[in-house]
Each structure stands twice: as structure tokens, then as C-alpha cells.
Amino acid sequence: MIAAKGYAAQDAHTPLAPFQFERREVKPHDVQFDILYCGVCHSDLHQIRNEWGGSIFPMVPGHEIVGRVTKVGSEVTKFKAGDLAGVGCMVDSCRQCENCREGLEQYCLVGNSQTYNGREQDGVTPTYGGYSNVIVVHEDFVLHVPESLDLAAVAPLLCAGITTYSPLRHWKVGQGHKVAVLGLGGLGHMAVKFAVAFGSEVTMLSTSPAKEADARRLGAHKFVLTSDPAQVKAVKGSFDFIIDTVSAPHDYNLYLSLLKTNGVHICVGAPPTPAEIMGFSLIGGRKSIAGSGIGGIPETQEMLDFCAEHNIVSDIELISIKDIQSAYDRMLKGDVRYRFVIDLKTL
């Protein structure tokens, strides 16, 4: 076994603390790499606080991982020592179901193996994430990371990036579309960048007046402060799509009223409590409410290649791992600009 160290939550109430554990030895199809950077996703916070239920402790969070390969198994063809490597939210899946065969491993019908707070495909072995120094993953779930981009700022693409890229591609969002992005955090700022890159007119819907200048710098054409009823009224019935990245309970009926006829409200944010949606919010204007989960491995690679070509990365604040708790506190207050990334040198 390979000795590893990281930061773990021992239960849903105590702060993260240093933790020693083991990674498996490299098998013929495995890639081992030293983790350089790991992004901090709001899902980390939901899961260490057990807000979605079923959390597995001890938990080493982190699913926006980039690093450099140190060792590959005898049968590995896609990577060699010295290559950059990335791992997102999954480390394996059944590979045989209809969805896996289509490259939609995030919707594996058997259940994929999440990078942390999950189990390997044996159903027993717990998975540990990227707030750690080393990881071993089957080559099919390791992404090629472009050498041309700032590595720390690439890490968040592995979750925040693909989670917003995938629905925009699925619904063919592009030129001629008016798109609203709800919530300017990790996912929201990537949604703005991608929707702008795909040629849409983008409006930022935010609760934070202080984020207006940043929203415009990120490429948003308009900014609406959602706590101001007059500003909200002015955009009623005006969007083809809303990408909803909000992590806390909010009023879906209000946002559905901002869609045009046939508009689609796409949920990527995952608040821990159920939403109340009136049938009439959908009936008037034949509207849809939809959801989307991360993205499959082929699409994640496509997204990374798109980012390399268009020079797109995340806007980050690099932190030391000992400051993780204060990063979470700021994230809870919506004070994220726009992704915390852990520098694993500080471990």
C-alpha cells in the first residue's frame, strides 16, 4: 500500500484535521500522481456536514484535482511519468451499462464511484479525495491537463467547469440565446465564461451587489440584483435558459417567471431541502425545469481541450490547507471570488 496524508472530517461536526491513510498499490491500468492543487467545491461542504445524508467518515474531500504523474501500471497507454493529470468527481463506474457505454459515466445505472465519500466498484473500499498528497486512479478516469494553462486555476474546471459546460452543450446554448446565470460562485463564474464563449447574451442574477463589477469583467452583459424587485421585474419573461447554481434554498417560482415561453430552468445547484414548485409556474409558457450532473469523461476532456484553445481557467484564491475552515466560512456567506484552491505544497 502507498502511505498518504491529507485532511479529513471525522464526523459532520468537527473541523477538518490532518489524517494518515493508504492508497492502493498501482495496478496494471492505474496511474499514480502527486496532487499539486485541489479546488474547494460547495459540494465538499454539503458532504462533510452530511447535508445530503449518507456521508461516509472519515472523509477526505476534494474532487477538483490536478497533479503530475509519478508512476503508471504496466498496461497503461494514455499516461507516462511526468505528464500532467486531472481527476474530477468520479474514479470509476460499471463501464457496461447503457450510460457508461455512451460516455455518461456520471449517470452510471449501477452507480459510479465518487472520488470521495464513495466506494470503489467493489462496493466496500472507501474513496478518499484530493485534499491529500497522492492519488491512484484507473487511467480511464484520469484526464489530460493542458500544459499551457495556469495549473492551480485549471483544478476547478474538473467540477465547476464541466458541471456548467455540460448542460450548456446539452441544451445547445449559443448565439441568439439569452441566458441567465443564477448565483456567482464557483459554478456560476464558470457558467458565465462558457455561456459568453458560446456566443450567448448573459445576465448575472445575484444576491451580492458587490459582485457586479466582477460579473461584467467575467463577461456578463447585464447584472440583476435579485433582492431589488424593480430590477427583477424588468427581466420578467426574458430568458431562454437559467443556469441555477445556488447552493441554498430559494424560490424557483420567482425565477421560472423570468423565462420566456418554452424556457428551461437548469438546476445544477443542489440545496439540501426540497423545493416547492407550483404547476402554474410551468404551465403558463410551457416551461421546463431540468437538472444536470457534472459530465462524463469524454465531455470532461472535450471541455479541458476547449479551455486550452480559448484560454479559459477559473478565477481563484490560492489557500494553504490549514486555512480550509475559514474558506468554508467565507463560502457559506457567498464570499467566494470565485473558487478557493488548496496548494498541496502546504500539506
> Do residues 241 and 177 touch, judged by C-beta distance below 8 A?
yes
Q: Which does 266 bind (CB under 5 to 8 A by kind): ligand NAP, Zn ion, none?
A: none
**Binding-site partner at residue 173 among ligand NAP, Zn ion, none, CB < 5 to 8 Å by type:** none
Residue 67 burial (CB count, 10 A): 27
Residue 108 is a binding residue for Zn ion (CB under 5 A): yes
Number of residues that bind Zn ion (CB under 5 A): 9
Helix axis angle for 160-170 and 186-197, nearest 10°, is 40
Q: Which does 100 bind (CB under 5 to 8 A by kind): Zn ion, ligand NAP, none?
A: Zn ion
Helix axes 297-310 and 160-170, enclosed angle (nearest 10): 100
Q: How far is the CB of 218 from ligand NAP (least distance, A)?
A: 11
CA distance 245 to 163: 10
User: Hey, which residues does 221 pair with through a beta bridge?
Assistant: none
Q: Segment contacting Zn ion (CB under 5 A): 27-35, 76-84, 89-97, 251-259?
A: 89-97
Of the two residues 178 and 211, which places its CB atom closer to ligand NAP in the complex? 211
Return the number of the residue (151 or 327) whose C-beta is nearest ligand NAP.
327
Question: Among ligand NAP, Zn ion, none, what binds residue 94 when CB lies within 5 to 8 Å by partner kind?
Answer: Zn ion
Q: Round to whole Å and give the CA distance between 77 and 75.
A: 6
Could you tell me the smallest distance in angstroms from the CB atom of residue 267 to ligand NAP? 7
- Looking at the Cβ atoms of 64 and 139, the one nearer to ligand NAP is 64
Contact (Cβ atoms closer than 8 angstroms) between residue 289 and residue 207 = no
Q: 113 is in the binding site of which of Zn ion, ligand NAP, none (Cβ under 5 to 8 A by kind)?
A: none
CB nearer ligand NAP, residue 176 or residue 274: 274
Residue 40 backbone dihedrals phi, psi, to 5 degrees = -110, 110
Q: Which stretch binds Zn ion (CB under 5 A): 86-94, 119-127, 139-147, 197-205?
A: 86-94
Q: C-alpha grid cell for residue 231?
A: 430590477
- Which alpha helices (DSSP H) does the chain contain, by range? 42-48, 98-101, 151-154, 160-170, 186-197, 212-218, 229-233, 252-256, 279-283, 297-310, 324-332
Query: Which residues make up the interface to ligand NAP (CB under 6 A)?
Result: 41-43, 46, 159-160, 163, 183-188, 206-208, 211, 245-248, 250, 268-270, 292-294, 331, 334, 336
User: Strand 30-40 and strand 65-72: pairing?
Assistant: antiparallel
> Mask of contacts with Zn ion, 43-82, x by CB under 5 A?
x---------------------------------------
Contact track, Zn ion, 150-189, x by CB under 5 A: ---------x------------------------------
CA angle centred on 101, ends 95 and 104, rounded to 5°: 90
Q: Which of 40, 41, 59, 316 is close enough to bind Zn ion by CB under 5 A? A: 41
C-beta closer to Zn ion: residue 190 or 344: 190
CB closer to Zn ion out of 61 and 263: 61
| Rounded CA separation 281/286 (Å) | 9
- Nearest approach, Cβ of 274 to ligand NAP (angstroms)? 14
Q: Could you list the beta-strand ranges (E) of the chain.
A: 2-8, 17-23, 30-40, 65-72, 84-87, 90-92, 113-114, 134-138, 178-182, 201-206, 222-225, 239-244, 259-267, 288-291, 316-319, 339-343
Tell me which residues touch Zn ion (CB under 5 A). Answer: 41, 43, 93-94, 97, 100, 108, 110, 159
